[in-house]
């Protein structure tokens, strides 16, 4: 067993600072303390020019919580939320947590059938949706809580740290999604960890263009902003021009996924990132060449980090120390990481810390399988540690290809192929083979209209110079688009 020890936390903490990851007790406790200390501080801004101060946010969320109470909801009830970013959605969400409700975020792309499946598992009493027609069998309101009664006086901010705050369903890249139950303590610990590690202060403004149904936008972007006492600019839809404008208007931080950075890098707006204090990438691997391209043009050293639905944030490249392309860095404050040797000589990443969830909703068998006998969470990701303790993600355990007895990491082959100018996008997977056990197959999106026979020859020669023979694709398939989820992760089970 290889472990990355706690002393690595020092790389993330300013000199003399202790890592108090429970300050505030609960999410609402931490937020309301910030609001009370600076009632006139700006907390939320919109691209349309709306400004919400701390005092206004306290009043708006208290009134919204009173409307939940008047509608008959009680602390501990669950509500689904699925809508685009807006002040109204943020208010509805914060009010739910202040009142003691448990929020079930849902992808805005979910159909009525998908929401019904989610509801059948989570048993919500209300849905807050952009389109009420998406949940015909549930009591529904819109983010402005239209149709709910006038607010009634009700006690707020009485939740305990162990109480559930979110039930976030896994992205479903394999198997049926499971609801990860995250407590206030889990979410608060992670928010404080990134606040400390990324030097997040009240002077910061985050350009938030991530969806608020995913842990990246919600658990890192929104929670982190509020715990830090900072402000955010809600960007309802990611566009390179919108991010450049946000930075020009004073944003100091931007959190994105690799697809966003790719679009910025291929746009005339990449230089707009220059004034940022911090640019963070996550939710999917950031190609090292994209990291270098952004640095060369803007001076920004994108900070890559690693987290999961079940754990929020785990590991990050340091703010002050070297940010190494291709790695996700060092364990965040409170987090411990170890590598557990598995079959075929690979090592699975296991973690523990106050940010790690307690289990899946109504899935005791899945929960038991997810944890080791001594209580560490099995991430399902494969990794290695370099000599300085930086973590490199090699792929998912279930995605590992074993061909002829050798291990092939799809990510390594994909990154090699993406370097070829004729490859627009690519995904690599293993298919059963009677001869090899599995055969390496490359699903390629050509960058331009090309003769695929010629391209196959070119890519075969390309791989011959860069990859060991057993890693080279033996089968080439040409597709129009690589299937991905909302955060850019490849859905290998949907490959043809």
pTM over 0.85: no
Q: Helix axis angle, 27-37 relative to 87-99, nearest 10°?
A: 120
Total count of domains within the chain: 2
At 304-358, the pLDDT tens digits run 999 999 999 999 999 998 999 889 999 999 999 999 987 656 789 999 999 999 9
Interatomic CA distance for residues 59 and 64, integer angstroms: 9
Q: Do 286 and 157 reside in the same domain of the chain?
A: yes
Residue 208 binned pLDDT confidence (cut-offs 50, 70, 90): very high
Per-residue DSSP letters for 170-230? ---SSSS--EEEEEHHHHHHHHHHHHHHTT--TT-EEEE-S-TTSHIIIIIIIHHHHHHT-
According to the model, what pLDDT value does residue 368 have? 96
Nearest to 156 by CA among 52, 297, 300, 36: 36
Q: Which residues of 292-322 are buried (b: 16+ CB within 10 A; e: fewer)?
A: ebbeeebebbbbbbbbbbbbbbbbbbbbeee
Write down the pLDDT at residue 120: 92
CA atoms within 13 A on the CB side of 341: 4
- Record the tokens describing residue 482, joined without a space: 């690589």
Looking up residue 410, the CATH number of its domain turns out to be 3.30.300.30
Residue 173: per-residue pLDDT: 40
Same domain, 415 and 300: no
The predicted model gives 284-299 an average pLDDT of 88
Give the integer Cα–Cα distance in Å for 75 and 377.
Answer: 29
CB 355 within 8 A of CB 418: no
383 & 407 share domain: no
Task: Tell me: do 341 and 255 sit in the same domain.
Answer: yes
Categorize the per-residue pLDDT at 117 as very low, low, confident or very high, splitting at 50, 70 and 90: confident
Q: Which domain holds residue 411?
A: 401-494
pLDDT in tens, 392-421: 988 777 777 878 766 787 888 898 899 999
Same domain, 356 and 448: no
pLDDT surpasses 50 at 174: no
Query: Which of these three, 371, 392, 413, is where a domain ends?
Result: 392
Q: Taking CA 316 as the corner, what is the angle to CA 314 and CA 319, rounded to the nearest 5 degrees?
A: 145
> What are 31's two structure tokens?
């937020």
* One domain, residues 432 and 333: no
245's CB contacts (< 8 A; 6+ apart) are 47, 272
Q: Does residue 66 sit in the same domain as residue 26?
A: yes
Q: What is the 3-state secondary structure (H, E, C) of 96-155?
A: HHHHCCEEEECCCCCCHHHHHHHHHHHCCCEEEECCHHHCCCCCEECCCCCCCCCCCCCC
pLDDT at 403: 80
| Beta carbons of 335 and 324 less than 8 angstroms apart | no
Please give the Cα distance from 460 to 475 (Å, whole number). Answer: 10
Domain end marker among 337, 359, 392: 392
Q: Which two tokens stand for residue 33?
A: 């303390």
Q: What is the CATH number of the domain that holds 23?
A: 3.40.50.12780
Q: Judge contact between 82 and 129, C-beta under 8 A.
A: yes
Whether residue 307 is found in the same domain as residue 423? no
Q: Are residues 410 and 386 in the same domain?
A: no
Of 370, 392, 414, which residue constitutes the final position of a domain? Answer: 392
- Rounded average pLDDT over 136-157: 95
Give the pLDDT score at 405.
Answer: 62
Residues 14, 51: one domain?
Answer: yes
**pLDDT at residue 493 tops 80:** no
pLDDT of 171: 53
Q: Helices 27-37 and 184-197, interaxial angle, to 10°? A: 50
Domain shared by 223 and 314, yes or no: yes
With residue 307 as reference, give the H or E element that holds it: strand 303-308
The SS3 assignment for 310 reads: coil
Task: Please report the pLDDT score of residue 7 as a whole number.
Answer: 45
Q: Is the pLDDT of residue 113 over 90?
A: no
Per-residue confidence (pLDDT) for residue 6, from 0 to 100: 44
pLDDT at 435: 66
Give yes or no for a contact between 403 and 409, defined as CB atoms under 8 angstroms apart.
no
Q: What mean pLDDT is reported for the chain?
A: 90
């Amino acid at each position: 067993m290889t472990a990355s020890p706690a002393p690595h936390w020092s790389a993330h903490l300013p000199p003399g600072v202790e890592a108090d990851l429970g300050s505030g007790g609960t999410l609402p406790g931490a937020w309301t303390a910030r609001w009370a200390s600076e009632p006139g501080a700006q907390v939320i801004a919109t691209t349309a020019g709306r400004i919400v101060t701390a005092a206004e946010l306290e009043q708006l969320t208290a009134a919204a919580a009173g409307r939940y109470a008047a509608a008959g909801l009680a602390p501990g009830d669950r509500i689904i939320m699925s809508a685009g970013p807006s002040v109204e959605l943020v208010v509805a969400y914060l009010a739910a947590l202040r009142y003691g409700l448990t929020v079930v975020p849902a992808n805005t792309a979910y159909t009525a059938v998908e929401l019904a499946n989610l509801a059948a598992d989570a048993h919500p009493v209300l849905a807050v949706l952009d389109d009420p027609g998406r949940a015909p069998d549930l009591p529904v309101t819109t983010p402005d809580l239209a149709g709910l009664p006038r607010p009634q006086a009700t006690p707020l901010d009485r939740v305990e740290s162990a109480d559930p705050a979110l039930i976030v369903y896994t992205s479903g890249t394999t198997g049926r999604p499971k609801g990860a139950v995250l407590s206030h303590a889990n979410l608060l610990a992670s928010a404080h960890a990134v606040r400390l590690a990324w030097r997040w202060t009240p002077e910061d403004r985050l350009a938030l263009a991530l969806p608020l149904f995913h842990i990246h936008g919600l658990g890192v972007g929104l929670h982190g902003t509020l715990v830090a006492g900072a402000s955010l600019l809600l960007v309802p839809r990611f566009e390179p021009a919108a991010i450049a404008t946000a930075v020009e208007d004073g944003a100091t931080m931007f959190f994105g996924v690799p697809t966003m950075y790719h679009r910025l890098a291929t746009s005339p707006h990449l230089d707009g990132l220059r004034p940022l204090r911090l640019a963070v990438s996550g939710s999917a691997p950031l190609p090292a060449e994209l990291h270098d391209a952004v640095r060369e043009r803007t001076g920004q050293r994108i900070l890559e980090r690693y987290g999961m639905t079940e754990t929020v944030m785990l590991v990050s490249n340091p703010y002050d120390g070297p940010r190494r392309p291709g790695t996700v860095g060092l364990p965040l404050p409170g987090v411990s990481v170890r590598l557990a040797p598995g079959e075929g000589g690979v090592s699975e990443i296991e973690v523990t810390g106050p940010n790690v969830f307690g289990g899946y909703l109504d899935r005791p068998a899945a929960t038991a399988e997810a944890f080791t006998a001594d209580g560490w969470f099995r991430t399902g990701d494969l990794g290695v540690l370099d000599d300085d303790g930086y973590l490199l993600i090699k792929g998912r355990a279930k995605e590992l290809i074993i061909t002829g007895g050798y291990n092939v990491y799809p990510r390594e082959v994909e990154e090699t192929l993406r370097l070829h100018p004729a490859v627009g996008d690519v995904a690599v997977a293993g298919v059963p083979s009677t001869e090899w056990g599995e055969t390496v197959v490359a699903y390629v999106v050509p960058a331009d209209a090309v003769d695929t026979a010629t391209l196959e020859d070119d890519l075969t020669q390309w791989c011959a110079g860069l990859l060991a023979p057993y890693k080279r694709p033996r089968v080439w398939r040409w597709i129009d688009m690589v299937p991905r989820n909302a955060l850019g992760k490849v859905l290998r089970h949907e490959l043809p």
